[in-house]
Structures are given as structure tokens and as C-alpha cells.
Structure 1
Amino acid sequence: MAVSEKLHPRPLPDPAAALQLIKPITWFPPMWAYLCGVVASGVSPQGQWGLVALGILLAGPIVCGMSQAANDWCDRHVDAINEPDRPIPSGRIPGRWGLWIALAMSVLSLAVGLLLGPWGFAATVVGVIAAWAYSAEPVRLKRSGVWGPGLVGLCYEGLPWFTGAAVLSAGAPAAPVVVMALLYALGAHGIMTLNDFKALEGDRQTGVNSLPVTLGPERAARLACWVMAAPQVVVIALLLVWDRPLHAFAIAAVLLGQLAAMRILLRDPKARAPWYNAVGVTLYVSGMMITAFGIRTLELL
């Protein structure tokens, strides 16, 4: 932060810092998951492209952006230790502007969710509540290395997948869609555990009991790998049971790529977690779309 900013705090947020606050790089997973739900529904988007585009906008920039703003506001004391140059601790988002942005985006999320019909609105309500439950006192599920990553995984992968299928189907998605969404949401718990590595020191000092804090980086990384891989093994088995051998083989190939990346990760988990989040997670989400195409024509239930 510049000396002049320390002596004379800015009255309004820096626009570039406001964009940084809602972290565009984090929008991709829920947007992709929503698309997976659209594909998995088996319903043609013809004539419904507006709902598809609106759902993608809601899942990524609006709800996910809101959750990032809420998390940064509630974590401002932790970020002052881990990353003091982030928008709020650096003063580029002054005063309580971080809170106002998060609250305004919460209202915007609910307003846009209304346009997606009852299923889309209900899912949006769940997403908004979950975002604040994760970050804000007195609930602050982020303090738990089990419930925190589980909630984020559910909201990043499972909820958008379910919502995309429900909006296109104009009703509850078929059982295979729900099962696959839950499996990939469970696996995302491991992804979120690896994401906690970057805040290890601040979490330790402020009482956030992430798995890297409670188990140590090596054990937490091994557990994360198991959590990511096991649901995909179940996905492969179900695709075989449902007579989708080509899709099952493709998921197996994607999983083998992840296992190779995991071996590299485990050599130095703390240093290589960001690398794995770029390489391994890309393979993971690729498998999600393959699975969505595999189940889109199922008519089991």
C-alpha cells in the first residue's frame, strides 16, 4: 500500500480492487458445473438459451462472486496475516465497503434467482445461506476442516449441477443426475482442502482448524487425494452398471492422469498444491462433463 493511502484512506473502493474482491478466477467451477447439469438433464436447450446464460451468470459472477466478497470481509483479519496486499487489508476496499458489496450481491443473487423459476430460486437461497454460513460468525463453518470444505464442494460442484438440470427440466432432476452431482461434490472436498494450504499460517494463528492445520500438510494432502479419487471410482462403476462403457473408460483415463499428478503433489504438498489445483482439477472437471454426457440419455427413474 502506498504511503499516501495509509495517511489518507480512500473514501471509495478502487474499481480494480473491487473486481479482485469477487475473484473472477474462482467463477469457473460453478459455471462449469451448471453446464454439466444442463447437459446431464437430457433436455434440449433449444429455445431456452436465455435460461442457460442466466444460470451461468448467476452461478459464477453473481453467487460465487458474492461468496468471495463475503469470505474476504469475514476473513480480513486472517488475510492481514497471510496476504496483506489483498483488497480489504490493503485499504483499497476501505471501511465497511467489503461488507456492503457482499450484502448487495446477496440481494442481487436472490433477484436473479427468481428469474430461473422455483427450482432455480430455491437453489439460489441455499447458495446464499451457505456462503454466509461458511464465512460469518457465529456459524463460520470454515473453522472446521470437515464441514467447511464439504459445504464449499457442495456449493461449487453439486448445487450448480443440480440447478442446471432442474432449471432445464422444470422439475426435480432424475436420480442419476442427483447421484453424480453428489459424488463430484464429495470429491471436491479434497480440492477445497488443497486450497486451504495457502492460508496455513493465518489459519493456525486465528483458530481455523483446516485439515492442513490439524493433520499437517503431508497427511492432509494424502487424505485429499483419497477423497478426490474415491468418488470417481464409484462414478466409473455406475457408468458400467448403466451400460456406458466408453464414458467409464474415459473417466478412468482422466482419473489415471490425476493419480500421476497426485504422486507429484505428495512429494511436496505445501509447495505443489497450487500446481495440482491447476493440473489435477482441470482433469477432474473434464471428467464431470464426460459423465454428464454419459447420463444424459439415461431413463432409469
Structure 2
Amino acid sequence: MSDTNTTSSQNQISKQPASNAKARQLLGIRGAAAGETSIWKIRLQLMKPITWIPLIWGVVCGAASSGNFSWTLENTLLAAACMLLSGPLMTGYTQTVNELFDREIDAINEPYRPIPSGAISLTQVKVQIFFLLLAGIALAYGLDRAVGHEFLTITCIAIGGSFLAYIYSAPPLKLKQNGWLGTYALGSSYIALPWWTGHALFGDLNWTIVILTLIYSFAGLGIAIVNDFKSVEGDRQLGLKSLPVMFGVTTAAWICVVAIDLFQIGIGSYLVSIRENLYGAIVLLLVIPQITFQDMYFLRDPLENDVKYQASAQPFLVLGMLFTGLALGHAGI
């Protein structure tokens, strides 16, 4: 991306209606404006609420795959607490850590973000990170105790996930510097970890579920690549090896869509192989509109259409996840 294109993009952002820009800023969507003064809104911006949705949905899919969820008041409250854990607390922690260690990149790509714009101090950001981490682990422990786990499965998932989130963003490991490893770590965090948590809350987490969701996470790898296109200029300047930087925008876009489609097709085929034919067929059919939107938007201009593509195609991907969870629960996997 040339400096001219970057300037043009920033000019387009500045021309957005003020209310629209503030809403995008609050949710953590690219294309916003600086100027927020409420410290609580700034803290929320750091946590990027728009990114909570896939993790919350992953809990739903895990509950479905357990085969044991029923609509009782107790189960509903447990599920809501688990969604709070996976979304606002652990994903909020992850995003705040990422904002802290990506502040130099954001100064190039998204200077309106809270840290590079100077809206919040680094000390305040660090306090928020520790609060979210401790609250998340405490809630995970409470959920383990509430369902009588002898082995603290949910607590271990929370601790492991928080560690993965830290080394993804923070030096010296900073997994996001490695295009393949970092992108898969992000994809698995969006699919496998919340799925395991929801499944463990209502059932017994087993190796079949673990392996299947790790395979499914390769589709999440494709989704994670989509997120790299918005920061390709800053990544290139700072030497971060995201896939768009390593392979170029066009090739990375193709890697992205192939990963998204291929592994969903593989999961759908697996469901057919275990005689969950209806669910398998639904998962396979849900890939078709995703391919359509990939052709309409993403492959034609991934830099311009990344957000539009995700808004159009991802609902079909997450529906496929739910039907997969229902199928596994029905099959007693």
C-alpha cells in the first residue's frame, strides 16, 4: 500500500459522520475517529467489543456439542457466566494486551486508537490488563466449582488461553511476528478455546472434541488472516511477517479463502461420515454463500472490502459451527 493510498484512506475515515465514527471506535471497528474523553468508553475501546461475539458464540457451540445443555435457569445462568468469561473478560484482556504491544503499529495504521492518540496512559492500560486477567481466572475457577469439577478444566483453559494471548502479542516470543504460527494461534483462540470451555461446562471434554475443534481452527486461521490486511502497511514498516506481508496481498487473500472453505468442507464431510447426514449437508451448503461473498468482495479488493466481507460471510461460518456442535452432541461424541 502506498503512502498516497494510506492518506486517502485516512481522509475517507475523517469524512465519516461523527456519530458513525464514534460507534466504530467504541466497538473496535476499523475506520474511526479520535476525541473520546470518557475513561470508561476509552477502556471499552481497548477491549474491542466487536471481537467478543465469536468467542461468545464458541461457548454456545461447545454447550451444544456436550449434548447435555437444557434450558433450565441454572444452565442459562452458567452459560451467561461462561460467555462473560470468554467475551468481555478473556477476549477483553487479549485485545488490551494486543493494544499495548501494538501501539507503534497502531500509530501508523490506526492513530485514532486510545493508546497512540494519547487518550489513556500506559499505566492505566496495564492496570486494566491485570484486572481483566484476574477477574477471568477467578470466574473460571468459580465455574469449575459450580459444576463440581475435580480437575479444574475451565481454569486451565483460561490460564492457557491468557498465556497464549500474551505470547501472541508480547516480546520476546510475539507469535504474531510469525505469519503461520501467529495466525493459527489467533484462529484457535477464536474457535477451539471457547468451544472447549462451553463443552467442559456442561459435559466431559474429550480428545475427539479437542482435535476436531483444532482442525476447525484452520478455518479460523483464514478469518485471522482477514484481520491482517488492515495493518499490512504498519506490519511491513516494522518487519512483522504477517501473511499479506510475506506473500503479497493477492496471494494471502487466496490462502485465506482456501483455508476458510477447505476446512469447513472437511468438517462437513466428517459429519456425513459419522452418519450425521443432515447436519453435514447443512454445513457444506453454508460454505456456498461464503464462496460467493469471497468472489464479490474479498478477492477483488481485500484491503478495501475486508470489513464488508466479514460482515457478509461470517454469519454463515458461525452458523456452520453451531450445526457442527449440534451434530456432535446428537452423535454423543
* Corresponding pairs, count: 287
The match for 1:133 is 167
SS in 1 for 2:331: coil
**Map of 2:156 onto structure 1:** 122
Q: How far, CA to CA, are the matches of 1:164 and 1:100 in structure 2?
A: 28
- C-alpha distance in 2 between matches for 1:243 and 1:293: 13
Distance in 1 (alpha carbons) for counterparts of 2:122 and 2:211: 44
Do structure 1's residue 299 and structure 2's residue 324 form an aligned pair? no
Structure 2 Cα separation of the partners of residues 173 and 54 of structure 1: 22
Structure 1 equivalent of residue 319 of structure 2: 286
Q: Measure, in 2, the Cα distance between the counterparts of 1:180 and 1:255.
A: 18
Q: Which residue of 2 aligns with 1:80?
A: 107
2:223 maps to 1:191 = yes
- The unaligned stretches of length 5 or more in structure 2 are 1-36, 145-151
Q: Which residue of 1 aligns with 2:13?
A: none
1:23 matched residue in structure 2: 48
Measure how far apart 1:174 and its partner are: 6.4
1:106-117 superposed matches below 5 A: 106-117=133-144
What's 1:146 paired with?
180
In structure 1, C-alpha distance between the alignment counterparts of 2:154 and 2:325, rounded to whole Å: 19
Is 1:53 the counterpart of 2:53? The answer is no
Paired amino acid for 1:215: F
Q: Could you say what secondary structure the match of 1:297 adopts?
A: helix
**Percent same amino acid among aligned pairs?**
33
Q: Is the 8 A contact 1:165 1:173 kept in 2?
A: no
CA shift in 2, pair 1:97/1:253, >3 Å: same
- Displacement of 1:123: 0.5
Assess if the C-alpha contact under 8 Å between 1:41 and 1:173 holds in 2: no
Which of 249, 274, 277 in structure 2 is aligned with 1:245?
A: 277
CA RMSD of aligned residues (A): 1.5
**Are 2:206 and 1:173 equivalent residues in the alignment?**
yes
Structure 1 runs (4+) greater than 6 angstroms displaced: none
Q: CA deviation at 1:13?
A: 7.3
Per the alignment, residue 156 of structure 1 pairs with 190
Q: Is 1:195–1:277's contact at 8 Å kept on the other side of the alignment?
A: no
Q: Secondary structure at the match of 1:124?
A: helix
Residue 286 of structure 1 deviates from its aligned partner by: 1.0
Asked if structure 2 preserves the Cα contact closer than 8 Å seen for 1:113 and 1:120, the reply is yes
Residues 1:128 and 1:95: Cα distance change in structure 2 (over 3 Å): closer
Query: Pick from 188, 201, 208: which aligns with 2:240?
Result: 208
- Report what 1:105 is aligned to: 132
In 1, the alpha carbon distance for the partners of 2:38 and 2:98 equals 17
Matched position secondary structure for 2:179 = coil
SS state at 1:146 partner? helix
Deviation at 1:49, TM superposition (A): 2.5
- SS across alignment from 1:294: helix
CA contact (8 A) 2:287 2:316 kept: yes
Deviation at 1:180, TM superposition (A): 3.4
Distance (Å, rounded) in 2 between the aligned partners of 1:124 and 1:174? 18
Rounded Cα–Cα distance in structure 1 between residues aligned with 2:55 and 2:227: 16
Q: How far apart are residue 184 of structure 1 and its match?
A: 2.2
Q: Quick check: 1:261 aligned with 2:293?
A: yes
CA offsets per residue over residues 78-123 of structure 1, 9 Å max, x none? 1111111100111111242212211221111111111121111011
- TM-score by structure 1 length? 0.91
State the 1:172 CA deviation: 2.3
Kindly provide the amino acid, as one letter, of the partner of residue 20 in structure 1: Q
1:62 is matched with which residue? 89
Rate the CA distance shift 1:174–1:213 in 2: closer, same or farther, 3 A: closer
Instruction: Give the match's secondary structure for 2:330.
Output: coil
Q: Distance in 1 between matches of 2:130 and 2:176?
A: 19
1:270 is displaced (CA, Å) by 1.6
Q: Secondary structure at the match of 1:209?
A: coil
Letter in 2 for 1:75: D
Counterpart CA distance in 2 for 1:101 and 1:144 is 27
